[in-house]
């Protein structure tokens, strides 16, 4: 089933589906490393949330522009510009997608933990989850690289967390700073543009990169590199993909179609 869907894609890619306990299906080169781009934000958010549960960081500590907190940075609500330190809005007033905000959040963890962020990520997230082929090569917002098999491990973790408590993950995948409008990259203006703490939330967004049958509770991220990961807690499924070509019209068509096929085939009763 996945092979048939993948055969329609005009790019080299790998896709897979997992539930909370096992990988259900894979198509394409699952062991080959691909760039993850902004899917990296899921790793960075998980590392920061782990550090908050350990007491290394406080999500409500001041961070970024005046009036902003670490929570604002993770939720793209700090007012920081996409890729620099310009402040474009007051904290908590707009959903401004910001790579820079995620980088500032990672720098806070680096300072609080007294170690490079990449080392904390490796020791606190990648190694415990067995994501041994994944590495951070550059920005904590976009520098991840790894194979599909590792991305599926992350999907399984987000369905049944072991690094975070259930309540902590539930809070992080609920809407932070509700009712904020903004642009979802690649899919235009959204009213509202809901986000959790590092996790994009589907809710009623239209258009969207997940399927028409994904639940409103679906969360995850996609990247300019052609990678994506969504987790649908209602369906009990996670779906991931990596690609050798950047996001474009092909992905905006292929990903939702794949998602609906996956949910029709593998959704639990």
pLDDT at 19: 97
pLDDT at 268: 77
Residue 122 belongs to what domain range? 2-266
For 116, 169, 184, the CA distances from 131, given in Å and listed in that order, are 19, 19, 28
The pTM of this model reads 0.97
Residue whose structure tokens are 């092909």: 250
pLDDT at 221: 98
pLDDT at 155: 98
Q: How many domains does the chain have?
A: 1
Q: Per this entry, what is the length of the chain?
A: 269
Q: Tens of pLDDT along 27-51?
A: 999 999 999 999 999 999 999 999 9
pLDDT at 47: 98
Q: How far apart are CA 131 and CA 14, in angstroms?
A: 17
Q: How far apart are CA 85 and CA 256, in angstroms?
A: 34
Q: What is the CATH number of the domain that holds 8?
A: 3.40.710.10
Q: Tens of pLDDT along 85-124?
A: 999 999 999 999 999 999 999 999 999 999 999 999 999 9
What stretches in the chain show pLDDT beneath 50? none
Cβ-based burial of 262 (10 A; exposed 0-12, middle 13-18, buried ≥19): buried
pLDDT at 166: 96
pLDDT at 213: 98
Residue whose structure tokens are 């520098």: 143
Handedness of CA 54, 109, 184, 88 (dihedral sign): positive
């Amino acid at each position: 089933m996945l092979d048939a869907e993948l055969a329609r894609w005009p790019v080299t890619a790998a896709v897979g589906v997992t539930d909370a306990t096992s990988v259900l299906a894979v198509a394409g080169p699952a062991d080959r490393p691909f760039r993850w781009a902004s899917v990296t934000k899921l790793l960075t958010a998980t590392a920061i949330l782990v550090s908050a549960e350990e007491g290394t960081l406080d999500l409500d500590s001041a961070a970024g522009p005046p009036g902003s907190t670490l929570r604002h940075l993770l939720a793209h609500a700090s007012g920081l510009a996409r890729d620099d330190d310009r402040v474009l809005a007051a904290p908590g007033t707009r959903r401004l997608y910001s790579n820079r905000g995620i980088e500032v959040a990672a720098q806070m963890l680096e300072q609080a933990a007294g170690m490079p962020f990449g080392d904390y990520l490796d020791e606190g997230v990648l190694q415990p989850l067995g994501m041994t082929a994944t590495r951070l090569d550059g920005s904590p917002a976009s520098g991840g690289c790894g194979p599909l098999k590792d991305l599926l491990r992350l999907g399984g973790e987000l369905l049944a967390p072991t690094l975070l408590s259930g309540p902590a993950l539930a809070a992080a995948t609920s809407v932070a700073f509700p009712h904020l409008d903004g642009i979802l990259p690649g899919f235009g203006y959204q009213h509202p543009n809901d986000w959790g703490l590092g996790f994009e939330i589907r809710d009623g967004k239209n258009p969207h990169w997940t399927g028409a049958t994904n639940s409103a509770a679906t969360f995850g991220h996609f990247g300019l590199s052609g990678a994506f990961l969504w987790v649908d807690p209602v369906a009990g499924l996670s779906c991931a993909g990596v690609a050798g070509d950047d996001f474009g019209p092909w992905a905006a068509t292929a990903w939702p179609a794949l998602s609906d096929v996956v949910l029709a085939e593998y959704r639990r009763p």
